[in-house]
Amino acid sequence: MRVICAPDKFKQCCTAAEAAEALASGVLSVVPDAEVIRLPGADGGDGTLDVLRDAFPNRRELRVQDALGREIDAAFALNADGTVALIESAQSCGLARLPDVDRNPAVTHTYGVGQLILAALDAGVREIAIGLGGSATSDGGTGMARALGARFFDESGAEIHPAGETLVKVRKCDLSGIDSRIAQTKFRALCDVMTPMLGPEGASRKFVAQKGGTTRTMYKLEEGLAMLHLAVTEAGGRGNGLEPGTGAAGGLGFGLYSMFGAELEPGADTVLELIGFRDLLDGVDLVLTGEGSYDHQTEDGKLIAALAEDCKSNGVPLVVLAGEVAADVNIDGVSAAFGISPYGARRQDSLNEGKSNLQKHAAYVARLMANRS
């Protein structure tokens, strides 16, 4: 039996590498002579730097602002010849950086992402790939842009430092002061979801609640993102906020696309290409994957959706093991999806036992496959 274990991270439980090891242990406990390939994955969100360590081995650390403006340590990485940088936006503005009590997309910003970009430019790179996902923000990338020289003004002409809720005040922006190196640098936005910034399926309506916002906050944030779009396009930025991927990381995708000319691409596809997943599929009997919650967001470009497309094309069974599984999710290419948390278990207990539950359920699946063959 030849098996690839290619999970994403399980938030608050384990990294993708730890999840891959748990899945592999489960398979080997049943089929000791199985060939098991551990291939932790990511989609542009938390953990992308670690998953792509081989492709970007030279890590740099610096002090930046978190989503609330507090100084923290963050990192980015360079490829072997130093021409391409990989930035994980969650390193600075990630939701995981904030305790539950501090999570509020109305007051958070992406200034720290701009600081990471500035450091990458200072390192002399010609291309910057930015992983988008797991953010605590909904500022349309204004914080990032401000760190690199953009300015934003209200109707009286007073300059403002926009965050989520203050975007509604934006009436004009000035992009002329943006660092001149931006125009000579290729930007790739690795989006964890390919949702638009505006509209019924946009950033505010789909993701505000998980970032600590309320329904009232949602409408105010969407209004602010719409005002930002008007100001940016008037200043010469491109797009209308409806492009797939502009809603990633609370509209950070829009900021990169509109103000920096970035290409928006599914982060999971890029990650799978860089870790060589597709080259390993030949002769594989089973792919095991997983994430914390297998739900409708999974369909929007998450790692499992990308895996499903490749597995279907190659006729390889794909089994999902997740902390929670939504009953009405049906992704073409997923052979089966199982929730690993015991029915009625407390959330914290499920998190504490996540790795052992992954191992146990991987053993169940391996036993089924071995008996079938």
Pick 372 or 67 by higher pLDDT: 67
The per-residue pLDDT for range 9-50, each reduced to its tens digit, is: 998 889 999 999 999 999 999 999 999 999 999 999 999 999
Percentage of residues of the chain with pLDDT beyond 70: 99
Specify whether the CB–CB gap between 119 and 104 falls below 8 A: no
Calculate mean pLDDT across residues 59-65: 97
Q: 């690795």: which residue's tokens?
A: 190
The values of phi and psi at residue 114, to 5°, are -60, -40
The values of phi and psi at residue 2, to 5°, are -120, 120
Q: CA–CA separation, 165 vs 323, rounded Å? A: 33
Give pLDDT, residue 343: 76
Task: List alpha helices for the chain, DSSP H.
Answer: 16-30, 48-51, 90-93, 111-122, 142-147, 203-207, 215-234, 248-260, 267-274, 277-280, 303-314, 347-352, 354-372
Confidence of residue 203 (pLDDT cuts 50, 70, 90): confident
Confidence of residue 114 (pLDDT cuts 50, 70, 90): very high
Q: CA–CA separation, 81 vs 297, rounded Å? A: 36
Give pLDDT, residue 246: 97
Q: CA–CA separation, 48 vs 175, rounded Å? A: 30
Ranges of each domain in the chain:
2-41+276-372, 48-268
Calculate mean pLDDT across residues 69-74: 97
Average pLDDT over the chain reads 94
Calculate mean pLDDT across residues 368-372: 84
Overall fold of domain 48-268: Glycerate kinase, domain 2 (3.90.1510)
CATH class of 2-41+276-372: alpha beta
Domains 2-41+276-372 and 48-268 equal at CATH topology level: no
192 three-state secondary structure: coil
Check pLDDT > 90 for residue 116.
Answer: yes
